[in-house]
């Protein structure tokens, strides 16, 4: 397309809410292609890459975040349906869940409590502000749930979103290596651990290892999101009173 054509398109989009929506979709599309070309390398997760592309574009063009979000809010709205969709893997694995309800429940509860408690404690230990501590607490839940919890307890949802992505990438990169190191061979146990600790990004990695590991990771991700929403707000209140 000629340069003048691209310029005219940019001028038109910049004057409408379509700008935020369009550049978000284009950035994610490019990031996803890069992710596939890298053979699904978790370090090139499309969420991280698309965020970096959007930041660079907004800075280069001088576009304010408020102007961008007029269109980006349409994508933000989809966080609600995405949260509801977490019920799908839970339904698909319900028969297995009934047989393993006790170990799964204990794993979920311990994982949620340790993830939130250790994050808040370490942030406080190293001098992090109260907002940072509260933003860290739900970081191991999937992004839509974590952002909602962060807003409710007084954290910064935008910071929580970044921490969620970092947590997921770290889990996806190191998770399977840790399983091998500790000689955890069962795909059910590996999947539950990955889903609780590294949510959606870890689940994507789990499906690359085996379908069974991916299925249980998705199940654990959905259940841990629910458990985090129930446990973390009162737990954070208790921790603040204790410390």
Beta-carbon-side half-sphere exposure of residue 131 (alpha carbons within 13 Å): 5
Looking at the structure, do residues 215 and 109 belong to the same domain, yes or no?
Answer: yes
Residue 112 banded pLDDT, cuts 50, 70, 90: very high
Given 15, 48, 77, which residue is the final one in a domain? Answer: 77
Domain count, the chain: 2
Looking at the structure, do residues 68 and 133 belong to the same domain, yes or no?
Answer: no
CA distance 205 to 3: 40
Is the pLDDT at 228 greater than 90? The verdict is yes
Q: Is residue 82 part of a domain?
A: no
pTM of the predicted protein model? 0.72
Positive or negative torsion for Cα 107, 112, 117, 123: positive
> Which tens digits make up the pLDDT trace of 119-163?
988 998 898 888 999 999 999 898 888 988 999 999 999 899 889
């Amino acid at each position: 397309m000629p340069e003048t054509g691209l310029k005219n398109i940019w001028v038109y989009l910049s004057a409408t809410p379509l700008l935020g929506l369009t550049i978000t979709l284009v950035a994610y599309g490019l990031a996803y292609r890069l992710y596939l070309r890298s053979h699904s390398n978790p370090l090139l997760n499309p969420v991280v890459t698309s965020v970096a592309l959007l930041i660079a574009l907004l800075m280069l063009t001088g576009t304010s975040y408020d102007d961008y979000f007029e269109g980006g809010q349409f994508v933000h709205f989809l966080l609600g349906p995405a949260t509801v969709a977490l019920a799908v893997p839970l339904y698909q694995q319900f028969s297995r869940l009934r047989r393993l309800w006790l170990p799964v429940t204990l794993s979920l509860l311990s994982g949620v409590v340790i993830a939130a408690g250790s994050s808040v404690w370490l942030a406080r230990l190293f001098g992090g502000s109260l907002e940072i501590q509260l933003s860290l607490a739900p970081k191991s839940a999937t992004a839509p749930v974590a952002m909602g919890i962060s807003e409710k307890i007084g954290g910064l949802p935008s910071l929580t979103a970044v921490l969620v992505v970092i947590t997921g990438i770290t889990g996806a990169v190191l998770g399977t290596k840790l399983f091998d190191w500790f000689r955890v061979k069962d795909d059910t146990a590996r999947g539950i651990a990955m889903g609780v600790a590294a949510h959606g990004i870890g689940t994507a990695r789990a499906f690359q290892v085996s379908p069974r590991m991916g299925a249980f990771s998705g199940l654990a991700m959905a259940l841990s999101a629910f458990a985090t929403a129930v446990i973390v707000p009162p737990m954070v209140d208790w921790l603040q009173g204790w410390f």
